[in-house]
Amino acid sequence: MRQDLGSSKDSQFKKIYMSRHENVSILYADIVGFTAISSTYSASELVKILNELFARFDRLSERYQQLRIKILGDCYYCISGAPRERPDHAVLCVHMGLSMVKAIKYVQQKTNSPVDMRVGIHTGAVLAGVLGQRQWQFDVYSKDVELANKMESSGLPGRVHISEKTLSYLNGEFEVEPALGEKREEMLRMAGIKTFFIVKALKPFRPSTPDVRNGTVTEETAASCDATPDNKEGEDDSACASPVDDNHVLSNGRARGDSADFKKRLRKELVNRDGHRDLMNHTTFFTLSFKDGTTERDYNLHKESFSSISVLGCPLVLLITSTAQFVVLPRDLMNILSFAIGFLLLVILSVMIVAEFFPSSFPGLLVRCSEAMNNSLWMRRIIGVIVIVLLGVANVVDMVSCTTPSSPSNCTMTEDLGSACLYPSYFSYFCVLVLVAATLPAQVSHLVKAGLLFLITLAHCCMNVIVIGPALDCEEATNHRDWINIAPGKYALCGLLLAVTIALVFLARHLEKASRVLFLWKTEVE
């Protein structure tokens, strides 16, 4: 292989240096909470921490006869049983995983940060060797390697997750418990693999031979690596023979702090990363439109996946309010017609919008029409406005049918109790639900939503004061005669609607800001 590497001879086919190994244990370990560390420490500090941590892992891999394949970001990947075969490959791999979990806890204690290690181990056959003609690197390839990766991703932080195949090679040296990883990972379920968590080691680790490097036994290994993974009173195995002074990085007072300080710094970083501050440099304050015309056009043309499904909330709100109205308010022909027509129109518009996302449930022609509508900016906006207007009008029309007592001086007696509007304040409560639903359509800008919200509120306030004002006065006199009201009920309800509207206007503005921030991030990534 070395001769071929230095040879300049060209040929049509190159040699492939691969060999098959039947019984190999593959270990994947991933740092959980790495994003939290990266948000808190500077790049240089982060590199030092990772360098020390992976140096510890390398020393542990020497102790447990592991072959480190590569480091993928914050993922550590090693094997046991190849290229040199050995019968205790699975036992050594599990000891390695337990020690890695202890190593990350050591870092957690030193840095006061919520980091942990998720370890997955699987045993199977691999092809080991090198591929390619440049930058050769030893690696292993097989389906079992992919399964080992899935073992890691379906595990839990702080636990060593092993497969049933690995368990069969442990010879009862570890106590295990069911992990049910096959329920969390589809690939494991399809492969018929049962998984387990390591609880503790039942037998202490006894190295068969001292660690030898360059023909000599290292004094550091012999002196500092005698503690077993399950020895809680001995020296911490995770701190075994670190090549970096513990006080150099992990005890640096300037870069560390207590847990409260860490959380404070993390929160500050996350707040600074929300992008809203940076968004103001790219948009106008009032309209939130991008200052760059090209960016604004791209934002208007783009659509998020399933964003149009939000309109389904409108027919749902109408159904709920109408059901409640039929229970507590009078039922007449106008109420039934307004509900039937409004609900039918809302359902038709909603189906035309969402058909694109469920092509198997709707005819092809309807799906194509839905795609055309969702691809058109103005169609999306017009339908969103129509849905909001229909929902508001349906509630206002029902208020017209609210009859008042024939004699204002006698609110307890009516000619027809079945048609009497005894609880007209419910219309204002229904209006609150209508206002909330009006903020849902993502395709409508926050300024248009604000205008529609104020129009709906104004219409309901006018109805409260002019049309059903006597009925509201009657309800207040009948049901709340012992209450001391600062203002008449009809004006209090108008104040309630106005307060809700103002709050929802700010919410709609915030949602659009978040949408534009995500669009900026997406644009930067692309």
pLDDT at 96 over 50: yes
Q: At what angle do helices 489-525 and 293-301 cross, to 10 degrees?
A: 110
Cα end-to-end distance, the chain, whole Å: 41
Q: Which residue has the higher pLDDT, 240 or 445?
A: 445
Mean pLDDT of 351-359: 85
In the prediction, which pLDDT does 135 show?
67
**Alpha helices by DSSP H, 43-185:** 43-63, 89-111, 143-153, 164-167
CA 408/CA 420 separation, integer angstroms: 13
Q: What is the pLDDT of residue 132?
A: 65
pLDDT band at 441 (very low <50, low <70, confident <90, very high): confident
Q: Are 153 and 120 in contact (CB under 8 A)?
A: yes
Nearest-angstrom CA–CA distance, 160 and 383: 53
Say what the pLDDT of residue 275 is.
Answer: 57
Q: What angle do CA 123, 126, 129 make, to 5 degrees?
A: 140
| pLDDT value at 417 more than 70 | no
Question: Residue 133's pLDDT band (boundaries 50, 70, 90)?
Answer: low
Which pLDDT score is estimated for 229? 40
Q: What is the pLDDT of residue 251?
A: 43
Q: What is the mean pLDDT of residues 421-450?
A: 88
Most trustworthy range by pLDDT among 111-120, 185-194, 305-314: 185-194
Provide mean pLDDT across the span 471-481.
Answer: 75
Q: Which domains does the chain have, with CATH numbers?
A: 17-264 (3.30.70.1230), 305-403+411-525 (no CATH)
pLDDT winner (highest mean) among 15-29, 398-412, 467-481, 500-514:
500-514
Share of the chain above pLDDT 70, in %: 75
| pLDDT tens digit sequence for 258-288 | 556 666 665 555 455 555 566 777 888 888 8
- Mean of pLDDT values over 95-117: 82
pLDDT band per the 50, 70, 90 thresholds, residue 401: confident
Task: Choose between 173 and 17: higher pLDDT.
Answer: 173
pLDDT(232) > 50: no
Give, in order, the Cα–Cα distances in Å from 237 to each of 108, 197, 218.
15, 20, 16
pTM, 2 dp? 0.48
CA distance 417 to 415: 6
**Is the pLDDT assigned to residue 458 strictly greater than 90?**
yes
Give pLDDT, residue 260: 64
- The DSSP letter of residue 317 is H
Helix axes 377-400, 313-328, angle to 10 degrees: 0
476 falls in which pLDDT band (50, 70, 90)? confident
**Cα angle, residue 164 at apex, residues 158 and 169 outer, rounded to 5°:** 95
Q: Quick one: tokens of 250?
A: 């992990």
Q: What is the pLDDT of residue 281?
A: 78
In this predicted structure, the answer to whether residue 97 has a pLDDT above a threshold of 90 is yes
Q: Find the range with the poorest average confidence among 26-30, 136-140, 353-357.
A: 136-140
Q: What is the mean pLDDT of residues 53-82?
A: 88
- Phi/psi at 277 (nearest 5 deg)? -65, -40
Instruction: Provide the mean pLDDT of the chain.
Output: 78
CB 371 within 8 A of CB 356: yes
Q: What percent of the chain has pLDDT over 90?
A: 26
Q: For the residues 313-328, what does the mean pLDDT come to? A: 86
